[in-house]
């Protein structure tokens, strides 16, 4: 029997019982729709996490001083004072895969502007700080190399700080006092929002690291050196170059451990991505349970259908249908049910996830993969759950089938 | 048409279409063994018109089902068109049913919600005939049974006699070696029965071998040869010396107006 004819007669057989066919398909429709929607939500979460991490600066390396050891007591990372401004300058000068370097210092303190005050942290950096963090100014300007060299008392405010100190007026060219040291505000940062860990990245004041070290910090050593590689791909080379350079500069011989640590963002990114991937898999597997139930529904209905149409099977066999013709016929019917259900389910899932992202402001991403996956899944379900009833039909004895009442 | 021995007088009479030897069929019904056939031997030649008669339980339907390759004998040999059917696989039997046998059943056994032409084309579909040839053959078969104007009607739009004629067209469409009809008039009124028999006689006149099972002597009178079954054995096998012509019977019948074939 020609394939087209089989498909056409399968459609006709399903048309005869429209309501039943629809209800059977409904299981697959809901299953596929749920899988698509859940994958869309999960992958939406995954991508927004990735975006946030990329916003940190995806090619950023952080060089931290090593841990200090006194007797048997070991301090944490950054407790040693092994990083110097000269190290930072050398990294910038001698590592070919390093694009920008910003030595870092940090202080915390109460900030006063007019009759307002606010406690925040003061981040020291070089003129390249914004390039490394991939951050931009909303207003004013950033401090220059000259400001860094002269330890000028200028600063740039984060959005949260502006909101708290200058709710009404523009802060540009205003004076503020940080721990009683007067600073001139020369710029305002663009709002950046929370980072992947939920910290407000806008609650910060940026100032030249030289100024922070000299005027504000009680710990007059570099806390860290922020470095950006020329591209995400050269990050590993850059890390290697820095390691070699610093070991040389710190006169470490072969067996000595590094007296510094280099961290990159990929660790954080990997962890966060892994978390959301688990979430996606969890959501999709819950949804695929309903797909499985839909498949059982198809098997159930096909079994009923085979019993109901035993006589038809007998007639077909009496005029020359072979077992495999009958098998194909019922298998195609099951496949038409599941694939049609799959297609409707995909449409439902796609519109459903669009509605979710509209109503709940939740990012959803529909990938070709999830569509191909659920379509393939409904195909497999059609074959798997359709085979047993179809085989049952094909194995019928012609005379028994014909006599069936 | 008359008492002459069909086995010798017809063209191609030498070719044996059906040859069965010592056919037995035993069913196991729980503890009881039912002997439906207890050793039947006979042969049917090309061009014959055979009526198999007998009371219910005589084994005639079982015999028919074995001849139609729908059922297998417990013992004995069945040769159809020089093929020993007993040794064939399920698929091969399906092909035999498709190419060599045309069935007509008491209950018509048409596929519902499927038009007359599609019902008739069905055997060709399983025989892998190209669609254009299929259509031509289907229409030709329906015209042969006088339904050329109803090819797109559905079974529920046709009278019993018309449905049976669709079934006959379906049996014919693959040019089978033999047409097997199991009580083809059992569900029809007397006039329609004769009309159906007229078609069988016409087909037989055109050289088609017909074997029909019936328990009505009136119907058996239209056949050339009558075989009577009793208790699973052939009780009588004789040429019909007084064969009736369905056309003549119809002409004598009072014309019941607007019956089914307006």
pLDDT tens digits, one per residue of A201-247: 889 999 999 999 888 887 778 888 999 888 777 888 888 899 889 88
In degrees and rounded to multiples of 5, residue B38 shows phi and psi of: -125, 50
Query: Where residue B3 falls among pLDDT bands split at 50, 70, 90?
Result: very low
The HSE-up count of residue A171 (CA atoms within 13 Å, CB side) is 32
Q: Strand, helix or coil at B188?
A: coil
Residues in A touching B138 (Cβ below 8 Å)? none
- The pLDDT of B156-185, averaged and rounded, is 93
Give the model's pLDDT for residue A126: 92
Burial A160-171 (b: 16+ CB within 10 A, else e): bbbebbbeeeeb
Residues 23-52 of B with CB under 8 A from A: none
Which residue in chain A is spatially nearest to B71 when comparing CA positions? A399
Tell me whether residues B97 and A312 touch, CB distance under 8 A: no
Retrieve residue B132's tokens.
């254009």
> What residue segments make up the domains of chain A, in order of their start?
3-52+271-403, 60-264
Q: Are B91 and A324 in contact (CB < 8 Å)?
A: yes
- B47-69+90-252, which class in CATH? alpha beta
> Residue A71 has what pLDDT?
61
CA distance to partner chain A, nearest, from residue B98 (Å)? 4
Kindly state whether A320 is in contact with chain B, defined as any CB-CB distance less than 8 angstroms: yes
The set of residues, in sequence order, having a beta carbon less than 8 Å from that of A390 and lying 6+ positions away, is A302, A306, A326, A327, A328, A329, A330, A331, A334
User: Which member of A315, A320, A324 has the closest CB to residue B111?
Assistant: A315
Parts of chain A with a pLDDT under 70: 1-2, 52-58, 67-80, 195-198, 267-268
Residue A79: predicted pLDDT:
57
Q: Minimal Cα–Cα distance from B77 to chain A, Å?
A: 19
Rounding to the nearest 10 degrees, give the CA dihedral for residues B213, B215, B218, B222: 10
Helices vs. strands in chain A: H and E counts, helices first: 13, 12
Contact B97 A318 (CB under 8 A): yes
Interface test with B, best of A317, A320, A393, A396 (most B CBs within 10 A): A320
Mind listing the pLDDT tens digit for each residue in B94-138? Answer: 999 999 999 999 888 999 888 999 999 999 988 878 888 999 999
Q: Work out whether the CA dihedral A80, A84, A88, A93 comes out positive or negative.
A: negative
- B70, B90, B126: residue with CB nearest A399: B70
Which residues are CB-neighbours of B138 under 8 A, at least 6 positions away?
B117, B120, B121, B124, B151, B169, B173
Residue A274: is it exposed, middle or buried by C-beta count within 10 angstroms (0-12/13-18/19+)?
exposed
Give the Cβ contact number of residue B153 at 10 Å.
16
Q: Give the contacts of A175 (CB within 8 A, at least 6 positions apart).
A: A113, A182, A183, A184, A185
Asked whether A1 and B125 are in contact (CB, 8 A), the reply is yes
Which pLDDT belongs to residue B13? Answer: 47
Alpha carbon separation from B90 to A323, B66, B70, B96 (Å, rounded): 8, 14, 10, 10
- A399 contacts B126? CB cut-off 8 A: no
Q: What is the pTM of this model?
A: 0.69
Q: What is the pLDDT of residue A75?
A: 62
pLDDT for residue A50:
74
> Long-range contacts of range B26-31, CB-CB < 8 Å, 24 or more positions apart?
B26/B74
Is B170 in contact with A316 (CB distance < 8 Å)? no
ipTM value: 0.88
**Torsion of the alpha carbons at A236, A238, A241 and A246, rounded to the nearest 10:** -110
B65 → closest Cβ in A12, A315, A399: A399
- Domain ranges across chain B: 47-69+90-252
């Amino acid at each position: 029997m020609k394939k087209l004819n089989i498909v056409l007669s399968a459609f006709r057989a399903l048309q005869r019982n429209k309501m039943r066919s629809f209800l059977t398909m409904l299981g697959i429709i809901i299953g596929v729709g749920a899988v698509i929607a859940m994958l869309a939500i999960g992958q939406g979460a995954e991508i927004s996490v990735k975006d946030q991490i990329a916003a940190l600066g995806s090619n950023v390396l952080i060089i931290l001083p090593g841990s200090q050891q006194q007797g048997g007591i070991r301090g944490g990372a950054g407790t040693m004072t092994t990083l110097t401004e000269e190290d930072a300058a050398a990294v910038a000068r001698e590592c070919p895969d390093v694009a920008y370097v910003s030595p870092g210092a940090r202080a915390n303190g109460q900030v006063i502007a007019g009759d307002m005050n606010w406690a925040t942290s003061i981040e020291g950096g070089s003129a390249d700080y914004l390039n490394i963090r991939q951050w931009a100014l909303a207003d004013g300007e950033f401090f220059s190399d000259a400001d860094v060299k002269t330890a000028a008392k200028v600063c740039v405010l984060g959005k949260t700080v502006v909101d708290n100190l200058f709710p009404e007026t523009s802060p540009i060219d205003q004076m503020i006092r940080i721990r009683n040291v007067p600073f001139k505000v020369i710029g305002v940062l663009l709002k950046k929002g929370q980072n992947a860990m939920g910290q407000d990245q806008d609650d910060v004041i940026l100032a030249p690291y030289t100024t922070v070290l000299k005027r504000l910090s009680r710990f007059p050593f570099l806390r860290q050196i922020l470095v950006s590689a020329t591209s995400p791909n050269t990050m590993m080379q850059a890390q290697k170059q820095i390691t070699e350079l610093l070991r040389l500069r710190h006169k470490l011989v072969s067996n000595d451990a590094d007296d510094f640590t280099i961290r990159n963002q990929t660790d954080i990114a990997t962890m966060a991505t892994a978390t959301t991937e688990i979430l996606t898999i969890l959501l999709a597997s819950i949804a695929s349970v309903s797909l499985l139930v839909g498949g059982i529904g198809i098997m159930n209905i096909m079994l009923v259908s085979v019993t109901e149409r035993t006589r038809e099977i007998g007639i077909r066999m009496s005029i020359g249908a072979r077992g495999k013709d009958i098998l194909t016929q019922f298998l195609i019917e099951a496949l038409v049910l599941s694939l049609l259900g799959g297609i409707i389910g995909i449409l439902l899932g796609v519109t459903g996830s669009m509605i979710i992202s509209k109503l709940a402001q939740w990012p959803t991403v529909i990938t070709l993969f999830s569509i191909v996956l659920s379509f393939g899944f409904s195909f497999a379900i059609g074959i798997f759950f359709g085979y047993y009833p179809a085989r049952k039909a094909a194995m019928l004895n012609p005379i028994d089938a014909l006599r069936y009442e | 048409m008359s008492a002459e021995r069909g086995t010798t007088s017809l063209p191609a009479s030498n070719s044996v279409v059906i040859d069965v030897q010592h056919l037995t069929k035993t069913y196991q019904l729980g503890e009881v063994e039912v002997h439906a056939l207890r050793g039947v031997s006979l042969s049917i030649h090309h061009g014959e018109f055979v009526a198999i008669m007998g009371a219910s339980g005589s084994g005639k339907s079982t015999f028919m089902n074995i001849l139609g390759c729908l059922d297998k004998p417990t013992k004995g040999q069945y040769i159809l068109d020089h093929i020993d059917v007993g040794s064939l696989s399920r698929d091969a039997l399906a092909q035999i049913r498709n190419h060599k046998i045309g069935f007509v059943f008491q209950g018509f056994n048409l596929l519902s919600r499927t038009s007359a032409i599609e019902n008739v084309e069905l055997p060709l579909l399983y025989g892998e005939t190209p669609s254009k040839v299929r259509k031509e053959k289907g229409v030709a078969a329906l015209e042969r049974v006088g339904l050329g104007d109803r090819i797109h009607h559905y079974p529920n739009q046709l009278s019993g006699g018309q449905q049976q004629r669709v079934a006959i067209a379906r049996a014919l469409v693959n040019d089978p070696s033999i047409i097997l009809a199991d009580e083809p008039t059992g569900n029809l009124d007397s006039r329609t029965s004769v009309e159906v028999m007229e078609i069988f006689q016409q087909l037989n006149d055109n050289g088609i071998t017909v074997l029909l099972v019936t328990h009505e002597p009136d119907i058996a009178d239209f056949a050339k040869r009558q075989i009577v079954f009793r208790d699973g054995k052939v009780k009588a096998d004789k040429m019909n010396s007084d064969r009736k012509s369905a056309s003549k019977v119809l002409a004598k019948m009072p014309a019941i107006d607007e019956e089914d074939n307006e």
